[in-house]
């Protein structure tokens, strides 16, 4: 037996007990006549004491030779500490060691195993197993498992059945690029790894499973933007005999429960907003509504007043920055520089100060009277003390740029509070979006999303205007979940494939099994999928997912710890009937 207690367990009530502990040496203080060791395991720290009055000489020597991260086992008596540490759960006691055994020595780790470490990102990834010893990383992984457990508990209690869907499936041309897996037993053929279990969960509904969920790994072979992983985890859900309203209600309860269970925060409101409204008010289909700064469109107020820059543009739009009328010229210039960066790409900003004394002053006073500026203030919701920032240009682009500025200011002004949770349903997404590159319409969600019945008539004439029974759940400016009511009859599905540019033969080859299934009694159904990595990070109050993944890959899709991917043997390639061409 390696231990009688963990390192986080002993209290003053245990005084006098003989105990055995095992763990890692966190810290050693050696005063010659006395040696203190902080012993660490997953559960906490316990102080060990050796002193030359009570500890045999050889053990004193052995203790003073211990190094950081040595794995040791000790036996001893729980005694009361002379100077207690109220910040440590075990801080009232220490162990007077009577037996010391080194279970494994340790080299000096390449970075310190402390809450704040000196190791850079690359080093910490290479030695991820050491990084995991650090509380911030360890606690994030424990938090993740707690969230997963709560997800399962809630959904199980609501009658959802967790069903495992296959990982070795078939490549489809729609969506992102698939990872493929050559099949040795079926020469020249490949499996694909799922981007989501979409068709399988729909087939489970056709199969009468009624309520399905799964926490499941999904895969996308995409060029990795920052904070994207080639393998990621989804909470995948589907329900039969439901309308959009049923799904929204169910997953509102779900999200409310999660936030309460893991953060202790009560969220009451789940407001809803159409896609059009979100784009108009926030320039963004996943607005952070923890703070205001809603867009005010100024076309009627700002055009045709002699200011050419505005006159030529499609859209003039502004926001009011609370309390920023006092910004210096330098501070405003910094914002102008910020929006001009290539990542944002705006031409500049027009500003107007709504001073505390009620006067208004702008960078375009030549063209606009104080009356004009007052109208701007009213439109953007600016109050005395606020700064109005205005952009102009092409509609979609300008909204996107102003949205980025709004988020930037939200961060700068501390309006995006990690412990505040503001969910939002965005509904009525467009069914299709035009893709300039391929010169055709793509499904905005996926080809299985149903159009709103009242819009179907527009499919032939104005396909871009057809709205879908699709919804996203947004939390604090991040899309945490998205879903739709699916198509459940063969004809609509065939029509959809047709509009997406599939020939009937292609549609049959790729998705014939699904369209066949719809002929044998498919119920109306719909669902939602949550990005689990992102959800956990946001619940944890962070926006980067990497620390919530035990063994993440870097931006080139590499696992630098195990050094994967790697070359495989010629024999393996031969068995797979493959040749590497470069």
Residue 170 contacts its own copies per CB under 8 A: yes
| Helix or strand run (H / E) with residue 24 | strand 18-30
* Cβ 163 to its own copies shortest distance, Å: 5
Cα separation values, 407 from 57, 178, 329, 535, Å: 63, 33, 21, 19
Q: Give the interface segment with its own copies, choosing from 162-170, 253-261, 306-314, 467-475 (CB under 8 A).
A: 162-170
Site residue total, its own copies (CB under 8 A):
123
Q: How many CB atoms lie within 10 A of CB 430?
A: 22
The answer to whether the annotation marks 229 as part of a ligand binding site is yes
Residue 71 contacts its own copies per CB under 8 A: yes
Q: Which is nearer to its own copies, 135 or 312 (CB)?
A: 135
Cα separation values, 102 from 106, 134, 294, 467, Å: 10, 22, 62, 67
Give the dihedral of Cα atoms 81, 83, 87, 93; nearest 10 deg: 0
Residue 158 contacts its own copies per CB under 8 A: no
* Cβ 547 to its own copies shortest distance, Å: 13
* Cβ 43 to its own copies shortest distance, Å: 7
The answer to whether the annotation marks 371 as part of a ligand binding site is no
Residues with Cβ within 8 Å of 409's Cβ and at least 6 positions away in sequence, in order, are 293, 319, 321, 324, 335, 415
* Cβ 263 to its own copies shortest distance, Å: 19
Angle at 502 between CA 470 and CA 524, to 5 degrees: 35
* Cβ 173 to its own copies shortest distance, Å: 8
Q: How many CB atoms lie within 10 A of CB 529?
A: 22
Residue 578 contacts its own copies per CB under 8 A: yes
DSSP letter for 541, please.
T
The answer to whether the annotation marks 292 as part of a ligand binding site is no
CA distance 1 to 262: 34
Q: Give the interface segment with its own copies, choosing from 267-275, 391-399, 414-422, 572-580 (CB under 8 A).
A: 572-580
Residue 151 contacts its own copies per CB under 8 A: no
Residue 162 contacts its own copies per CB under 8 A: yes
Binding-site member from 19, 204, 364, 373 for its own copies (CB under 8 A): 204
Cα separation values, 164 from 157, 197, 240, 504, 555, Å: 18, 9, 18, 31, 29
Residue 47, helix vs strand vs coil? strand
Residues 301-340 that bind its own copies (CB under 8 A): none
CA distance 98 to 96: 7
Q: Which is nearer to its own copies, 416 or 486 (CB)?
A: 486
Residue 181 contacts its own copies per CB under 8 A: yes
CA distance 512 to 521: 15
Per-residue exposure over 144-167, b if at least 16 CB sit within 10 Å of its own CB, e if not: beebeebbbebbeeeebeebebee
CA distance 296 to 516: 50
* Cβ 55 to its own copies shortest distance, Å: 23
CA distance 272 to 424: 6
Binding-site member from 206, 377, 388, 443 for its own copies (CB under 8 A): 206
* Cβ 138 to its own copies shortest distance, Å: 7
* Cβ 259 to its own copies shortest distance, Å: 20
Binding-site member from 75, 117, 190, 384 for its own copies (CB under 8 A): 190
Binding-site member from 9, 14, 34, 43 for its own copies (CB under 8 A): 43
- Strand 296-297 and strand 315-321: pairing? antiparallel
CA distance 454 to 524: 17
In degrees rounded to 5, what are phi and psi of residue 575?
A: -60, -30
DSSP letter for 12, please.
G
* Cβ 466 to its own copies shortest distance, Å: 22
Residue 465, helix vs strand vs coil? helix
Residue 186 contacts its own copies per CB under 8 A: yes
Q: 47: closest CA among 20, 65, 28?
A: 28
* Cβ 216 to its own copies shortest distance, Å: 9
Binding-site member from 192, 248, 293, 538 for its own copies (CB under 8 A): 192
Q: x/- site string to its own copies, residues 541 to 570, per CB under 8 A?
A: --------xxx-x--xxxx-xxxxxxxxx-
CA distance 212 to 161: 5
Q: Give the interface segment with its own copies, choosing from 10-18, 195-203, 330-338, 362-370 (CB under 8 A).
A: 195-203
Residue 249 contacts its own copies per CB under 8 A: no
Residue 12 contacts its own copies per CB under 8 A: no
Residues 93-132 that bind its own copies (CB under 8 A): 103-107, 109, 127-132
The answer to whether the annotation marks 532 as part of a ligand binding site is yes
Residues with Cβ within 8 Å of 228's Cβ and at least 6 positions away in sequence, in order, are 222
Q: Give the interface segment with its own copies, choosing from 68-76, 330-338, 406-414, 457-465 (CB under 8 A).
A: 68-76
Q: Give the interface segment with its own copies, choosing from 242-250, 324-332, 433-441, 461-469 (CB under 8 A).
A: 242-250
Binding-site member from 16, 32, 120, 188 for its own copies (CB under 8 A): 188
Cis-peptide, bond into residue 565, ω within 30° of zero: yes
Q: Cβ distance 474 to 426 under 8 Å?
A: yes
Q: Cβ distance 553 to 533 under 8 Å?
A: no
Binding-site member from 29, 31, 42, 396 for its own copies (CB under 8 A): 42
Binding-site member from 124, 133, 286, 499 for its own copies (CB under 8 A): 133
Residues 501-520 that bind its own copies (CB under 8 A): 513, 517-520
Q: Cβ distance 449 to 459 under 8 Å?
A: no
CA distance 202 to 531: 19
Binding-site member from 9, 30, 210, 311 for its own copies (CB under 8 A): 210
The answer to whether the annotation marks 479 as part of a ligand binding site is yes
Residue 453 contacts its own copies per CB under 8 A: no
Q: Which is nearer to its own copies, 186 or 308 (CB)?
A: 186
Residue 495 contacts its own copies per CB under 8 A: no
Half-sphere exposure of 501 (CA within 13 A, CB side): 11
Q: Which residues are annotated as a binding site for L-aspartate?
A: 174, 220, 445, 486
Q: Which residues are annotated as a binding site?
A: 174, 220-222, 229, 445, 479, 486, 531-534
Q: Which residues are annotated as a binding site for ATP?
A: 220-222, 229, 479, 531-534
């Amino acid at each position: 037996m390696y231990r009688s207690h963990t390192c986080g367990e002993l209290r003053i009530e245990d005084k006098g007990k003989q105990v055995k502990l095992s763990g890692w040496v966190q810290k050693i203080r050696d005063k010659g006549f006395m040696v203190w060791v902080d012993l660490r395991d997953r559960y906490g720290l316990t102080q060990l004491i050796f002193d030359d009055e009570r500890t045999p000489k050889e053990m004193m020597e052995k203790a003073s030779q211990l190094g950081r991260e040595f794995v040791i086992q000790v036996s001893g008596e729980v005694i009361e500490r002379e100077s207690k540490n109220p910040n440590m759960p075990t801080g009232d006691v220490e162990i007077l060691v009577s037996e010391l055994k080194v279970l494994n020595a340790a080299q000096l780790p390449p970075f310190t195993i402390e809450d704040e470490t000196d190791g850079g990102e690359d080093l910490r990834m290479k030695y991820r197993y050491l990084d995991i010893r650090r509380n911030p990383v360890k606690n994030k992984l424990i938090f993740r498992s707690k969230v997963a457990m709560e997800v399962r508990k809630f959904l199980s209690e609501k009658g959802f059945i967790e069903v495992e869907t296959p990982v070795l499936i078939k490549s489809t041309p729609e969506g992102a690029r698939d990872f493929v897996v050559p099949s040795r037993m079926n020469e020249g053929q490949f499996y694909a790894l799922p981007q989501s279990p979409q068709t399988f969960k729909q087939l489970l509904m056709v199969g009468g499973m009624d309520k399905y969920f799964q926490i499941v790994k999904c895969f996308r072979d995409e060029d990795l933007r920052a904070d994207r992983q080639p393998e990621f985890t989804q909470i995948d859900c589907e329900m039969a005999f439901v309308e959009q309203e049923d799904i929204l209600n169910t997953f509102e309860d779900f999200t409310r429960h999660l936030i309460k269970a893991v953060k202790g925060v009560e969220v009451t409101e789940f407001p809803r907003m159409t896609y059009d409204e979100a784009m108009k008010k926030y320039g963004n289909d996943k607005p952070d509504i923890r703070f205001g700064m809603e867009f005010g469109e100024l076309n009627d107020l700002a055009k045709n007043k002699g200011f050419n820059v505005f006159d030529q543009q499609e859209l003039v739009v502004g926001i009011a920055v609370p309390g920023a009328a006092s910004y210096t010229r330098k501070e405003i210039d910094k914002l102008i520089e910020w929006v001009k960066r290539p990542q944002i790409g705006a031409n500049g900003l027009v500003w107007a100060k709504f001073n505390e004394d009620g006067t208004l002053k702008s960078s375009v006073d030549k063209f606009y009277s104080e009356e004009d500026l007052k109208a701007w203030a009213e439109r953007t919701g600016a109050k005395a003390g606020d700064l109005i920032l205005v952009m102009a240009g092409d509609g979609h682009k300008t909204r996107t740029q102003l949205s980025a500025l709004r988020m930037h200011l939200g961060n700068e002004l501390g309006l995006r509070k990690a412990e505040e949770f503001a969910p939002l349903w965005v509904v009525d997404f467009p069914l299709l979006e035009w893709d300039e590159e391929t010169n055709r319409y793509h499904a905005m969600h996926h080809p299985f999303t149903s159009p709103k019945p009242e819009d179907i008539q527009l499919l032939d004439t104005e396909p871009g205007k057809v709205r879908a029974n699709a919804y996203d759940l947004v939390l604090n400016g991040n899309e945490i979940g998205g879903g739709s009511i699916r198509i459940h009859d063969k004809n609509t599905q065939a029509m959809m494939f047709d509009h997406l540019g599939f020939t009937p033969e292609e549609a049959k080859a790729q998705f014939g099994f699904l369209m066949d299934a719809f002929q044998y009694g498919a119920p109306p159904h719909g669902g939602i999928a949550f990005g689990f990595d992102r959800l956990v990070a946001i619940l944890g109050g962070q926006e980067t997912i990497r620390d919530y993944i035990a063994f993440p890959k870097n931006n080139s899709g590499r696992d630098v710890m195990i050094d994967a991917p790697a070359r495989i043997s010629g024999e393996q390639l031969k068995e797979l009937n493959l040749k590497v061409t470069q």
